[in-house]
C-alpha cells in the first residue's frame, strides 16, 4: 500500500517542484503555493458530487455518451473547480504580479487535484494493477498540468489586461479552452474508435508543444522584467 501511495503522489509532487523551479526570478510565496495545492486537492470533493449529479442526466449511448462524459462531466466540471481554486486563493493576491504567476498557480491547483485523483485510482480502485499508476504518471497527471498551463495563460491575460471586455473574454477562455483540451483527451480514450486512438499520441505531443510555448513566453517575459528592474542597480555599481 505504501509503495502504491508513493507511485500515486510522486508525479504530482515532481511536476509541482519543476514548475516552482521554472519560476526563477520572482518566485511565489511557499505558503500560498501550498494553499493552492491543498485546495486543489480538496476540489476533488465538490467535483465528485457534481460529476455524479451530471452523470445521472447522461441519456446518451455510444459515442455521444462518451462525448457527454468527456467534455461535460469530466472536462467542464474538473476545470471549473480547479479554476475556482485559483480565483478564490491567488487571483487577487498581491503576489500575483506577473503573467507567469497565473500559470504557476493554475498548475499547482491542477496538480493538487490530479494527485488526489491519482491516489483514488492507483491506491484504491486498481490496487492489483500497478500499470495504472505508470500510465497515469506518464500521461494523465502531466495532462492535468498542461491543462493548467493553458488555464493560467488566459487567467494572466485577464488579470493584467485593462479593457474590461477583454478581461471577461480571457476569463471565459481560461475555462473553455482547458475544458476542450481535457474533453478531447478523455474522449479519445473513452470513445474506443481506432482512428482516434491513432491520433492520441500526436494529440499529446501537440499539448506539450503548445503549452511549453506558452510557458516559455511568460518565463521569458519574467526574465526580461527582472533584468529591467535590476538595470539601475547595475548602472549605479558601474559608476562607483
Which among 71, 26, 76 has a CA at the least distance from the CA of 50? 76
Q: Output the DSSP codes for 15-49.
A: HHHHHHHH--SSPPPHHHHHHHHHHHHHTHHHHHH
* Tens digits of residue pLDDT in 68-120: 999 999 999 999 999 999 999 999 999 999 999 999 999 999 999 999 999 98
pLDDT at 106: 98
* Tens digits of residue pLDDT in 35-50: 999 999 999 999 999 9
Q: What is the pLDDT of the chain when averaged over all its residues? A: 91
**Among all chains, which residue has been given the C-alpha cell 505508470?**
134
Share of the chain above pLDDT 70, in %: 93
Q: Across residues 118-128, what is the average pLDDT?
A: 78
Q: What is the Cα–Cα distance from 69 to 73, expressed in whole angstroms?
A: 5
Share of the chain above pLDDT 90, in %: 76
Residue 138 Cα to chain centre, angstroms: 15
Contact assessment for residue 85 and residue 109, using Cβ atoms and an 8 Å cutoff: yes
Residue 240 has pLDDT above 60, yes or no: no
pLDDT at 229: 79
Contact assessment for residue 147 and residue 110, using Cβ atoms and an 8 Å cutoff: yes
Residue 168 has pLDDT above 60, yes or no: yes
Contact assessment for residue 226 and residue 114, using Cβ atoms and an 8 Å cutoff: no
pLDDT at 127: 65
Instruction: Give the contacts of 96 (CB within 8 A, at least 6 positions apart).
Output: 90, 102, 105, 159
Instruction: Give the contacts of 73 (CB within 8 A, at least 6 positions apart).
Output: 51, 54, 55, 58
Amino acid at each position: 500500500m505504501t509503495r502504491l501511495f508513493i507511485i500515486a503522489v510522486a508525479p504530482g509532487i515532481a511536476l509541482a517542484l519543476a514548475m516552482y523551479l521554472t519560476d526563477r526570478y520572482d518566485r511565489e510565496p511557499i505558503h500560498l503555493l501550498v494553499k493552492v495545492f491543498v485546495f486543489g486537492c480538496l476540489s476533488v470533493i465538490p467535483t465528485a458530487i457534481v460529476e455524479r449529479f451530471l452523470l445521472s442526466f447522461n441519456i446518451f449511448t455510444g459515442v455521444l455518451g462518451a462525448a457527454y462524459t468527456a467534455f461535460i462531466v469530466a472536462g467542464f466540471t474538473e476545470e471549473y473547480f480547479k479554476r475556482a481554486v485559483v480565483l478564490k486563493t491567488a487571483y487577487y493576491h498581491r503576489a500575483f504580479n506577473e503573467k507567469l504567476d497565473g500559470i504557476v498557480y493554475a498548475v499547482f491547483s491542477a496538480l493538487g487535484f490530479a494527485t488526489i485523483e491519482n491516489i483514488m485510482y492507483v491506491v484504491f480502485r486498481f490496487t492489483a494493477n500497478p500499470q495504472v499508476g505508470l500510465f497515469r504518471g506518464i500521461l494523465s497527471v502531466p495532462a492535468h498540468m498542461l491543462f493548467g498551463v493553458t488555464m493560467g495563460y488566459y487567467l494572466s491575460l485577464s488579470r493584467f489586461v485593462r479593457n474590461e471586455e477583454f478581461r471577461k473574454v480571457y476569463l471565459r477562455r481560461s475555462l473553455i479552452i482547458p475544458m476542450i483540451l481535457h474533453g478531447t483527451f478523455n474522449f479519445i480514450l473513452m470513445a474506443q474508435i481506432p482512428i482516434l486512438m491513432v491520433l492520441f499520441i500526436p494529440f499529446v505531443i501537440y499539448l506539450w508543444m503548445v503549452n511549453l510555448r506558452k510557458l516559455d513566453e511568460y518565463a521569458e517575459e519574467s526574465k526580461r522584467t527582472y533584468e529591467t528592474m535590476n538595470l539601475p542597480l547595475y548602472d549605479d555599481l558601474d559608476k562607483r
